[in-house]
C-alpha cells in the first residue's frame, strides 16, 4: 500500500510515545525520520540502552536522529534535509523555535491532560494526586511558552477511584495514540479549527516529580494520602519510614474518614493481617509495600517477616 502523501517527522522518547508512533505507521503515514533521546549507559556493564521510541523506529526501518543539541547547525541542516511537511511530538523535550517552526504544516504535541489544566512535566501524576475524577489528552500546535499553543482536539478519560498512575498511563496512551492519528488526518484534510487556550481559567499545574513529592505527611487526610499513593504507583512510589527504614507504599485503602484523637502517624496492627495508619482525618490501611532493601510484597507477607509496634 502506498504511503500517505505528507512527510512526517516524529519526536518522542518513552513508552508513552511508542503507541502514537505505531498508530501512525499502521495508518500508513510516511514517517521519514524519528528524533529521540541519546542512548543511556545502564547496568553494571554501562551498556548503552536505546529509548523505547528508537527501538520502535529501528524495528520499522525508520531513520533515527539523536541530537545532543537541538540548536546545533549540523542537526538543523540534517532536519531540513528531510523536508518534513509536519512534525509530531509526544513526550519529548522542549523544542527551540528553529525546530518547531520549520515544517509548513506546523508542529503539534500530544499532552496527557485537558489543557490548559495540568500544564507541565507530570500531568498524569498530579491529576490523581489532586483527586480529579477525569482527565484526558490534548493535541495542540507548539508555540514559545510550554503547553500553551492552540488546541486542535481533546478527548476525556475518567479517573476511577481504583486507578493508579500505571492504570491511567495505559488508558491515556491508548486514547492519545488514536487522537494523534485523528489530528494528522484532520491537518492533512484541512479540517481543523485551532482554539486558543483559556488563559483566564484557574488551572492546576503539573511540575516534575521529585523524591520529596512522595514523602507521606500523616497529618493530611487519609483520602489525600491515598491519592498521593495512587498518583505515584508503581513509580516512583510514595514513601514513609517504618521500623526506622524507608518504605515505599504502592497500594492502600481508606478504612475510616473521621477525625480521631490519635496522633497522625500512629500505627495500629495485629502483626498478622493489617497495618493501619492514623492520619489527620481518617485511617489508612496499607496493602502493598516495599521496605528498603527488600522486595515488593503484600501486607500479609510483609508482616510474616516484620514485627511492628502499635
Instruction: Work out the percent of the chain whose per-residue pLDDT is above 90.
Output: 88
Binding residues for (6S)-5,6,7,8-tetrahydrofolate: 113-116
To the nearest whole number, what is the mean pLDDT of the chain? 95
Give Cα separations from 132 to 57, 128, 136, 163, 228 (angstroms): 35, 6, 11, 11, 12
| Per-residue model confidence (pLDDT) at position 136 | 98
What's the pTM?
Answer: 0.94
pLDDT score at 245: 92
CA 249/CA 238 separation, integer angstroms: 6
Cβ atoms within 10 Å of 103's Cβ, excluding its own: 20
Number of other CB atoms surrounding residue 2 within 10 Å? 6
The model's confidence at residue 170, banded by pLDDT at 50, 70 and 90, is very high
Residues belonging to the binding site are: 113-116
Predicted confidence band of residue 260 (pLDDT cuts 50, 70, 90): confident
What dotted CATH number matches 211-305?
3.10.25.10
Mean pLDDT calculated for residue range 122-151: 96
Band of pLDDT at residue 309, cut at 50, 70 and 90 = confident
Q: Return the bridge partners of 110, or none.
A: 90, 139
Q: Are 280 and 263 spatial neighbours (Cβ–Cβ below 8 Å)?
A: no
Strand partners, 239: 215, 248
CATH 3.10.25.10 residue ranges for the chain: 211-305
Q: Is the pLDDT of residue 1 over 60?
A: no
> What's the average model confidence in pLDDT over 218-242?
97
Q: How many CB atoms are closer than 10 A to CB 3?
A: 13
Encode pLDDT of 185-195 as tens digits.
999 999 999 99
Q: Is 118 left (phi over 0), alpha (psi -120 to 50) or beta?
A: left
CATH architecture of 7-189: 3-Layer(aba) Sandwich (3.40)
Ranges of CATH 3.40.50.170 domains, the chain: 7-189
Amino acid at each position: 500500500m502506498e504511503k500517505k502523501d505528507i512527510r512526517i517527522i516524529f519526536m518522542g522518547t518513552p513508552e508513552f510515545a511508542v503507541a502514537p508512533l505505531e498508530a501512525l505507521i499502521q495508518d500508513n503515514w510516511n514517517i521519514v525520520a524519528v528524533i529521540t533521546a541519546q542512548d543511556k549507559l545502564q547496568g553494571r556493564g554501562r551498556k548503552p540502552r536505546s529509548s523505547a521510541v528508537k527501538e520502535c523506529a529501528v524495528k520499522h526501518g525508520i531513520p533515527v536522529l539523536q541530537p545532543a543539541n537541538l540548536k546545533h547547525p549540523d542537526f538543523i541542516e540534517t532536519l531540513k534535509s528531510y523536508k518534513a511537511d509536519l512534525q509530531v511530538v509526544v513526550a519529548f523535550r522542549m523544542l527551540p523555535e528553529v525546530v518547531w517552526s520549520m515544517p509548513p504544516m506546523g508542529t503539534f504535541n500530544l499532552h496527557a491532560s485537558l489543557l490548559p489544566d495540568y500544564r507541565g512535566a507530570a500531568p498524569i501524576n498530579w491529576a490523581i494526586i489532586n483527586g480529579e475524577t477525569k482527565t484526558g489528552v490534548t493535541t495542540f500546535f507548539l508555540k514559545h511558552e510550554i503547553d500553551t499553543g492552540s488546541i486542535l482536539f481533546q478527548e476525556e478519560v475518567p479517573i476511577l477511584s481504583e486507578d493508579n498512575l500505571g492504570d491511567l498511563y495505559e488508558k491515556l496512551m491508548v486514547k492519545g495514540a488514536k487522537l494523534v492519528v485523528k489530528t494528522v488526518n484532520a491537518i492533512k484534510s484541512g479540517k481543523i479549527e485551532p482554539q486558543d487556550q483559556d488563559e483566564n481559567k484557574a488551572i492546576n499545574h503539573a511540575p516534575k516529580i521529585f523524591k520529596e513529592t512522595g514523602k507521606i505527611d500523616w497529618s493530611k487526610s487519609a483520602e489525600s494520602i491515598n491519592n498521593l499513593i495512587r498518583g505515584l504507583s508503581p513509580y516512583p512510589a510514595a514513601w514513609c519510614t517504618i521500623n526506622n527504614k524507608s518504605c515505599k507504599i504502592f497500594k492502600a485503602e481508606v478504612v475510616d474518614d473521621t477525625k480521631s484523637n490519635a496522633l497522625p502517624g500512629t500505627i495500629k496492627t495485629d502483626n498478622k493481617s493489617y497495618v493501619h495508619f492514623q492520619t489527620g482525618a481518617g485511617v489508612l490501611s496499607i496493602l502493598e509495600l516495599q521496605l528498603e532493601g527488600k522486595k515488593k510484597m503484600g501486607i500479609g507477607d510483609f508482616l510474616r517477616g516484620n514485627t511492628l509496634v502499635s
